[in-house]
Amino acid sequence: MEATSPYKMSVSLNVVTHLGLNLYSNIPAVLSEAVANAWDAEANKVTVDIDKAAGTVTVYDDGSGMDLNDINEKYLTVGYRRRDATGTLTPNLNRPVMGRKGIGKLSLFSIARTVEIYTVKAGQKHAFRMSLDDIKSAITDEFSGDSPYRPKPLDVSNIAFTKGTKIVLRDIKKNLHQTESALKKRLARRFSVIGPEFNFALEINGDSVSVSDRAYFHKLQYLWLYGDQTYTDKIRDLAVNAEQVEIRLSETGQGGKVFGWIGTVYSSDQLRDQGENLNKVVVLARGRLAHEDLLENISDSSFYRQYVIGEFNADFLDADSGEDITTSSRQRLDEDDPRFIDLKEFFEGEMGNVKKAWGEWRETKGVEVAVENTAVDEWFKSLGIESQKRARKLFGTINSLEIDDDSKKKELFAYSVMAFESLRYKDNLQALEEMSQPALAGFISVFKSVDEIESALYHRIVNQRLEVIEKMQAETDADSKEKILQELLFQHLWLLDPSWERATDAHLEERIGKTFAGVDLTEEEKKSRIDIRYKRVSNAHVIIELKRYSVSTDTYTLARQVRKYRDALRKALKDRGESNPYIEIVCIVGKSLSDWAQDDGRAESAQTLGPINARVMTYDELLDNARGLYSEYLRGREGLDRVRKVIESLES
């Protein structure tokens, strides 16, 4: 430690551990604190340079810089309350000061073990280094009466700039895997004051950051705007693909002013962006992120919510006259504060309007797209008023998905016709129950519609499934069978069980599926299988293990191995709150198990595997069983009906 250092951190250093070292968990959040400090320093430009090879992050701003007094009394004083000491506006540019708690600077240690500061003010140059290890030692020494932590002075002769502050982060604890474009998006989403109109520029590795780098405006289909015309016009220009726009009032129930927008996208899949969930409405105050997701604070979980994204700027939440509403996490607001409750109530009211308008607009657009096909148009016009209302909802649901492939969209509209007919069937059943003495003609009419729907459904499903089976059975070579089964099995779960149409939670499968990578297997066990997958179907958790065609194994060995996967899955599900899951295990093998050759071997094998809900099928049995089942369905199907004619006209 440098005893002669002129720099001193004057604070109980235990605060550094609680409020700094673990303040944030990602690089964009940490850099946001540096950008906010640059804004308060009246910088016109901030540059962020990431050197992945050297493992460093450098942030430079051309702001006011710091002299020795600023360094010790302001920067190194954790908890320094800028607004109380020097006012709520910056001295020259009258910018609303972003900093309030005086702890954001500590966030640098969330991602770096070493922080170097180089700064120039009025010709005075200063430089010093702070080490995480030294700070931790100082925290220990603090209780033995040692002197405060003193950062190490650095040579100032290499400082080439004439004003401002440069921060160099070394010994980075986080992986610098993010691309410049990804970092630009994340920083652009955290600030609303970047751009020439605010005289505040941000660059990352030489590329300018702008509001358009948020990279979600082009996804918006419907848009609700709040604020003055200058602001709403700006958002309109960014959301060039928005089909419907509504201007709303921008004052809360208690008179708080807001400006911002709520938008919905074509498909909920668009709100997943390289691991980041965009299905949220952020709150900004004084130009920076204050609350990560306002959607979490409302109870409405209706379907439309999955399509929502938005931003609200609410400076009244961080008014100088009020108490500090920001929590220690720095990314959430105090949800019991009356100002937050006021914003929440305003937002809930607006979401009610969004829900209603979104449903109406989506249905109208869905009908417009669907009836572009002549067959659908004629079918739709033949419906009564009440039936058309239901068809509108179905078309709207289909049209809310963004699908580039026209043939796929036609297929979805075909299913919507079938879904509508299913609804009509349910209505017929209700009418049948209400009849005291149904007429014979009416009775036949009801069941005629049932037959038509079932016939069309079987015709499509069975033919499609037989095509898959025939493709797989065409391969007679063992290696080819192994490859094509690996390729198709996990996409077509009905090969294992006709009721397993498809997986129901792809995100859960992806997360839990990774747990199998950590299962302790012998080298022989690893080599014996091609793949192991977790699938969530209906109300069951399913483990599917596909063995290599050439592998010969027995019931005991197989049971021992799948128990490992079952136990790993149970632990993963328990960690997410599911304590008693129903787990089914299916093992697909190329050859019969070696102990099946014994008398009653297969029956005994089933008894052994039964208690752990496991079963075994060979490659050939899997395909033969499936083909026999669906061929029987196909042979018994009815002739073409009116519903199928509509469907086939869509596919032609």
Domain that holds residue 599: 475-612
Residue 535 in tokens: 């699938």
If asked whether residues 371 and 310 sit together in one domain, one would say no
If asked whether residues 227 and 297 sit together in one domain, one would say yes
* End position of a domain, from candidates 325, 356, 387: 356
Of 451, 418, 415, 445, the closest CA to residue 432 belongs to 445
What is the DSSP code (8-state) at residue 160?
-
Q: How many CA atoms lie within 13 A of 516 on its CB side?
A: 22
What is the DSSP code (8-state) at residue 74?
I
If asked whether residues 113 and 245 sit together in one domain, one would say no
pLDDT of residue 201: 96
In a domain, 169, yes or no: yes
Q: Please state, as a whole number, how many other Cβ atoms lie within 10 Å of the Cβ of residue 264.
A: 28
pLDDT of residue 403: 58
In a domain, 634, yes or no: no
Checking if the pLDDT of 83 tops 90, the result is no
Residue 400 in tokens: 């809310």
Q: Which residue has the higher pLDDT, 34 or 506?
A: 34
Strand partners, 545: 532, 587
pLDDT of residue 330: 54
pLDDT in tens, 117-175: 999 999 999 999 999 888 777 766 554 445 577 899 999 998 999 999 999 999 988 77
Q: How many CA atoms lie within 13 A of 210 on its CB side?
A: 9
If asked whether residues 139 and 228 sit together in one domain, one would say no
Average pLDDT over residues 632-640: 48
If asked whether residues 348 and 248 sit together in one domain, one would say yes
Give how far Cα 154 sits from Cα of 7, 126, 158, 453, 581, Å: 11, 8, 10, 80, 60
pLDDT of residue 308: 95
* End position of a domain, from candidates 160, 192, 212: 212
Average pLDDT over residues 64-76: 90
Q: 3-class DSSP state for residue 415?
A: helix
pLDDT grade for 416, boundaries at 50, 70 and 90: low
Checking if the pLDDT of 336 tops 60, the result is yes
pLDDT grade for 445, boundaries at 50, 70 and 90: very low
Average pLDDT over residues 470-482: 72
Q: Please state, as a whole number, how many other Cβ atoms lie within 10 Å of the Cβ of residue 279.
A: 16
If asked whether residues 30 and 58 sit together in one domain, one would say yes
160 contacts: CB under 8 Å, gap ≥ 6: none
Q: What pTM was estimated for this model as a whole?
A: 0.61
**Measured between alpha carbons, how far is 321 from 564 in angstroms, rounded to an integer?**
60
Question: Domain holding 86: CATH number?
Answer: 3.30.565.10
pLDDT in tens, 512-532: 777 777 777 777 777 777 788
In a domain, 650, yes or no: no
Q: Map tokens 């009440």 to a residue.
A: 386
If asked whether residues 263 and 120 sit together in one domain, one would say no
pLDDT of residue 441: 37
Average pLDDT over residues 484-501: 74
Of 598, 593, 615, 617, the closest CA to residue 606 belongs to 615
Residue 149 in tokens: 């932590």
* End position of a domain, from candidates 212, 239, 270: 212
Checking if the pLDDT of 362 tops 70, the result is yes
Q: Do residues 135 and 109 touch, judged by C-beta distance below 8 A?
A: yes
Q: Please state, as a whole number, how many other Cβ atoms lie within 10 Å of the Cβ of residue 177.
A: 8
Checking if the pLDDT of 82 tops 70, the result is no
pLDDT in tens, 312-324: 999 998 876 767 7
Average pLDDT over residues 316-340: 75
pLDDT of residue 436: 41
Question: To the nearest whole percent, how much of the chain has pLDDT over 70?
Answer: 74
Q: Map tokens 């009908």 to a residue.
A: 367
Q: Do residues 106 and 16 touch, judged by C-beta distance below 8 A?
A: yes
Average pLDDT over residues 567-583: 84
542 contacts: CB under 8 Å, gap ≥ 6: 493, 500, 534, 535, 536, 583, 584, 585, 586
pLDDT of residue 575: 81
Average pLDDT over residues 68-90: 77
Q: Map tokens 């050939």 to a residue.
A: 620
pLDDT grade for 643, boundaries at 50, 70 and 90: low
pLDDT grade for 8, boundaries at 50, 70 and 90: low
In a domain, 646, yes or no: no
pLDDT grade for 248, boundaries at 50, 70 and 90: very high
pLDDT of residue 433: 40
Inter-helix orientation angle 338-370/385-399, to 10°: 110
Question: What does the longest C-alpha to C-alpha distance in the chain come to?
Answer: 105
What is the distance, to the nearest Å, from the Cα of residue 153 to the centroid of all Cα atoms in its chain? 44
Average pLDDT over residues 4-21: 60
If asked whether residues 145 and 36 sit together in one domain, one would say yes
In a domain, 575, yes or no: yes
If asked whether residues 483 and 571 sit together in one domain, one would say yes
Q: Do residues 286 and 198 touch, judged by C-beta distance below 8 A?
A: no
If asked whether residues 405 and 423 sit together in one domain, one would say yes
Residue 469 in tokens: 């089976």
In a domain, 107, yes or no: yes
In a domain, 118, yes or no: yes
Residue 592 in tokens: 């019969």
pLDDT of residue 384: 80
In a domain, 76, yes or no: yes
pLDDT of residue 430: 46
Checking if the pLDDT of 504 tops 50, the result is yes
**Measured between alpha carbons, how far is 46 from 60 in angstroms, rounded to an integer?**
6
**What's the mean pLDDT when you consider all of the chain?**
79
Q: 3-class DSSP state for residue 190?
A: coil
What is the distance, to the nearest Å, from the Cα of residue 44 to the centroid of all Cα atoms in its chain? 34
If asked whether residues 226 and 200 sit together in one domain, one would say no
**Measured between alpha carbons, how far is 422 from 387 in angstroms, rounded to an integer?**
12
Average pLDDT over residues 592-598: 89
Give the E-state strand segments of 425-537 in sequence order. 529-537
If asked whether residues 154 and 247 sit together in one domain, one would say no
Q: What is the count of structural domains for the chain?
A: 4
**The dihedral sign for the CA sequence 222, 225, 230, 235:** negative
